[in-house]
Structure 1
Amino acid sequence: MVENLLMGFGEVLQFQHFMGLLIGVMIGYFIGSMPGLTPSIGIALLIPFTFTMQPVMAMIIIVSLYMAAEYGGGITAILLNAPGTPAAAATAFDGYPMTQNGEAAKALTISIIASSIGAVTSSILLIFTAVPMASFALKFGPTEYFALAIFGLSLVSSLSRESLLKGILSMLLGLLFVTIGLDPVMGTPRYVFVNDLFEGIPFLPALIGLFALSEVFYLMEDVKTRPPKAEKVKGLGAPLSTFKQMWVTLVRSSILGYVIGVIPGAGTTIASLVSYNEAKRVSKNSETFGKGNPEGIAASEAANNAAVSGAFAPLLALGIPGSASAAIIIGALTIQGVQPGPMLFSKNPEIPYSIFAALLIATPIMLAVGLGGIRLWSRVVLIPKRILAVFVFGISVLGAYAYSNTMFPVWVMILFGLMGYGLRKAKFPTTPMVLSLVLGFMMETNFRRAITISDGELLFFLSRPITLTLLILSLVTLFVPIIQNLRSK
């Protein structure tokens, strides 16, 4: 393995391949920081330009773009409350409050360093555990995916401590929206009153509306208020003692993000939300989460970047995509005449080991670009609110329109923006709704598949060890915060 890994580093460090890596990082930053332009869209747009390239060159550019795009989403999440990627939604929970408190540079610094730690940790884990972890992921069937979705939804209790009832109502509203579209099993339309709803509520425009557009309405309310003073950036933007205090969070989130990334279909969004909740659950200052706690940013960013490497484990070892972006990458490999799977490591070892090397080499470059741009990006807070509102509205509309190049996602974004504004004014948390929109389809589809397989026997769910473990964890996650609240009162 050492020889193959050295060969991979040799491939990446060739001049033309290294330049391709730099280009991929720069494009990834741009793609990630623009709401609506997800890593999946960026990779899909890039693939036609890789047709004439050698497979190694094509993979190096795609991998570096993928990694940088996941970080780039955190920039606008922190500065504008407009997550550039769905996985950056959890970053906005504490990142944007820090910006409002005049700590934009500190938040950005924590974000990029946490992302880098997550990327390096998961890349090392990928090199040593790709094949065994991918084999473990194959054990996930309908019951395991259902239990994983339930575990994600159980986070509502810890994310809604101010009012559990309002959090549950917000979650149920999100689950109601998930039922719109074609029935995942029978194929019959449900609540489809326009043809555009056959595929359900588009998630990304809804997310942009809940976060970015609702913030625009808040900015319009408060245009006369002076913007916060820009933080004076000294050194890295955050003292090293900050990272010493949260090293446990960084390590835990990196490992958790990698493991969730390995599970096909879970992806970076679930990884960041689960990691954020775990950081909040074990923190001694859990009440400060959502109000500008740096650990929230660290947990989210370390996990979503770690999940990128995790998605490559089933892709390379088994030919199974771990995420939507990984599925597109499989298509790119197939176009190049390379078949991902168990034989890839013996027939084309330069492909997987070049990917390993690209992940490790792209990280310090991503870190350097991120830290170098903090002084520039942190000055976004100096823009007058009326101008900022117009700018955020413009990129929100652009991001929603880019989702399918039609106006329907724009109307969805506006609807969810008004809804998000109303929920926030009524003190309803929007995070549980995001959880529902992410996990609702997975929960329903796999529950019904499991019921079909077991002929309606509910005890079938308790007969599988992984499923039973996840369900027990869900109960613990749901009720422990409730008990703690009751005890504190």
Structure 2
Amino acid sequence: MEIFGYLIDGFGVALSPDNLMFALLGAFLGTLIGALPGLGPANGVAILIPLAFSLGLRPETALIMLTSVYAGAMYGGRISSILLNIPGDEPAMMTCLDGYPMAQKGKAAEALAISAIASFIGSLIATIGLILLAPILADFALTFGPAEYFALFMLAFATLGGITGKNPMKTVVAACLGLMISTMGIDSTGVQRYTFNVLELYEGIDFIIAIVGLFAISELLFFIEDRVGKGRKTIAVSKLKLSWSDIRGILPSSLRGGVLGFIAGVLPGAGASLGSFISYTLEKKIVGKKGHFGEGDPRGVAAPEAGNNGASSGALVPMLTLGVPGSGTTAVLLALLISLNITPGPLMFTQHADIVWGVIAALLIGNFLLLLLNIPLVGIFVRLLSVPPMYLLPIVTMVAFVGIYSISNTTFDLYFMVAFGVAGYLLRKLEIPLVPVILGLLLGPEMEKNLRHAMDISDGDWMVLWSSGLSIGLWAFAIAGLILPYIVGPILRRRMALKTEVTGD
């Protein structure tokens, strides 16, 4: 019953007029960003973080707006998948398999409506799971000591291959690069590290500058290189003709996908891509020969959409309770919390209970807002896909530069942001993922602090790092997480590639 008391207090925060307005704004902007192929939720949140700072929003309002952007982008990713056969982001890839064939058969409106309903169900299931599971996990995390937290951070880095879906060795290189950058500045003993006598580097690297540069500016450079020109031609969306029997037909698929997606989101390193994949695969096996998956089966749209939206909310569980992000976007949200002087983890549920439960309540409200937005306003989101990037690029660039400058009022940060953007562009060209770089930058200081603390307690004895059953368990999971991507990752990618080839994508 205590949980419901906290949740009621959270609704008091979320339903304040300004928080509700920014939740609606975030949901709308997130859907627009998600509809643009290639941007995705991580880039969308990164681009809009400076806007939240420049508006001078309170911490709970900023977090509510950006989590609404996150949820909206997961909804929006389906639009280009269905109409263009181009996934808005990686988790939306499975939606192409049946969404685009439905659109080709003149059922684009039905496919979009089904995906919106399934996304709503998946997100709702995951948010309820977040409400029930997060406090339990937060209480359990209070038993962690510095050695256990260090092992937990190692687990986070070891499972990054699941988040990025890239070559595991390149993921390790990216994480080490992020950890190296995190050591810049003056350490806890007063020693300068890698400052090169530059005054602006004494306090280390600002997370927000690095994130906006690596994600937003590098994405702009890719836009300039690959996508400048005329907008894309989309399939026309006719009048919606969706009956109650059609909705009843997708309910079991959506419920199963939402549960599977939530489980995938809670597991560090699993992420929305896995949630989408296993939801689609299980649904295809359950339906069997009765379905026509790959040819425009509505259940082939509902299952992966429920799965990836369930995983997006599930990924908030380890981020809020343990301070370990479960996806690339939650890594960006983690940076926002740290920049607001809020430390995610078990103590956050007591020290900042209003923020935590306000965000959870806002997620519940946001799911209904997104459902109401995505069905009647889908025409607006569809028309956005035909807007040439030459008109969108200046707006995105302006938001990034004005937002960063408003944080510190120094041009040095703008130069630094551009430098990170160029670095991000080069890393992506080399197929080195950016999320591990950000995670290393974010978790590096806390990782170092816990290692120092553990060494102080044990008088320099390294055995303290695996002296408890809990730490041994975390190390075992970390080793498994480092090895499994070499085995499971190639198998999953081959199956996804095979499915894509079969459908002629």
TM range, normalised to the smaller chain? 0.5 to 0.7
Q: Secondary structure at the match of 1:411?
A: helix
- Are 1:250 and 2:246 an aligned pair? no
Alignment of 1:375-454 (within 5 A): 375-454=379-458
Shift of 1:203: 2.1
Of 191, 195, 202, 1:192 maps to 195
Question: What does residue 24 of structure 2 align with?
Answer: 26
Shift of the 137–359 alpha-carbon distance from structure 1 to 2, 3 Å rule, reads same
Q: Where in structure 2 are there 5+ consecutive unaligned residues?
A: 31-43, 81-87, 282-300, 323-332, 344-348, 495-505
Q: Percent identity?
A: 26
Q: Where in structure 1 are there 5+ consecutive unaligned residues?
A: 49-58, 81-90, 261-270, 286-292, 315-321, 332-339, 345-349
- Are 1:122 and 2:130 an aligned pair? no
Shift of the 4–385 alpha-carbon distance from structure 1 to 2, 3 Å rule, reads closer
Question: What does residue 485 of structure 2 align with?
Answer: 481
Cα distance in structure 1, aligned partners of 2:134 and 2:218: 41
- Asked if structure 2 preserves the Cα contact closer than 8 Å seen for 1:75 and 1:108, the reply is no
Cα distance in structure 2, aligned partners of 1:418 and 1:130: 38
Amino acid at match of 1:446: N
Q: Secondary structure at the match of 1:222?
A: helix
Alignment of 1:150-161 (within 5 A): 150-158=154-162
Shift of the 430–311 alpha-carbon distance from structure 1 to 2, 3 Å rule, reads closer
- Are 1:45 and 2:56 an aligned pair? yes
Cα distance in structure 1, aligned partners of 2:52 and 2:18: 19
- Asked if structure 2 preserves the Cα contact closer than 8 Å seen for 1:208 and 1:396, the reply is yes
Shift of 1:177: 1.2
Cα distance in structure 1, aligned partners of 2:191 and 2:64: 41
Shift of 1:415: 0.8
Shift of the 143–31 alpha-carbon distance from structure 1 to 2, 3 Å rule, reads farther
Amino acid at match of 2:192: P
- Asked if structure 2 preserves the Cα contact closer than 8 Å seen for 1:250 and 1:299, the reply is yes
Shift of 1:478: 1.0
Amino acid at match of 1:229: K
TM-score if structure 2 supplies the norm length?
0.63
Shift of the 282–471 alpha-carbon distance from structure 1 to 2, 3 Å rule, reads farther
Alignment of 1:171-186 (within 5 A): 171-183=175-187, 185-186=188-189
- Are 1:144 and 2:148 an aligned pair? yes
Shift of the 361–211 alpha-carbon distance from structure 1 to 2, 3 Å rule, reads closer
Amino acid at match of 1:140: F
Amino acid at match of 1:45: G
- Asked if structure 1 preserves the Cα contact closer than 8 Å seen for 2:118 and 2:303, the reply is no
* Deviations 1:2-25 (CA, angstroms, capped at 9, x unpaired): 99769949x969xx9675664352
* Deviations 1:268-298 (CA, angstroms, capped at 9, x unpaired): xxx7x6534764897898xxxxxxx999986
Alignment of 1:190-269 (within 5 A): 190-193=193-196, 194-222=198-226, 225-233=229-237, 250-254=258-262
Cα distance in structure 1, aligned partners of 2:432 and 2:356: 46
- Asked if structure 2 preserves the Cα contact closer than 8 Å seen for 1:254 and 1:302, the reply is yes
Shift of 1:107: 9.4
Shift of the 247–465 alpha-carbon distance from structure 1 to 2, 3 Å rule, reads farther
Cα RMSD for the two superposed structures: 5.5
Of 263, 271, 277, 1:275 maps to 271
Cα distance in structure 1, aligned partners of 2:451 and 2:371: 41
- Asked if structure 2 preserves the Cα contact closer than 8 Å seen for 1:246 and 1:295, the reply is yes
Cα distance in structure 1, aligned partners of 2:443 and 2:241: 37
- Asked if structure 2 preserves the Cα contact closer than 8 Å seen for 1:222 and 1:385, the reply is no
Shift of the 381–361 alpha-carbon distance from structure 1 to 2, 3 Å rule, reads closer
Question: What does residue 71 of structure 1 align with?
Answer: 71
* Deviations 1:142-192 (CA, angstroms, capped at 9, x unpaired): 222222221121134446766444333233222221111222x32422112
Shift of 1:472: 1.0
- Asked if structure 2 preserves the Cα contact closer than 8 Å seen for 1:28 and 1:39, the reply is no
Shift of the 78–446 alpha-carbon distance from structure 1 to 2, 3 Å rule, reads farther
Segment of structure 1 superposing worse, 135-144 or 245-254: 245-254
Shift of the 407–233 alpha-carbon distance from structure 1 to 2, 3 Å rule, reads farther
Shift of the 486–300 alpha-carbon distance from structure 1 to 2, 3 Å rule, reads closer
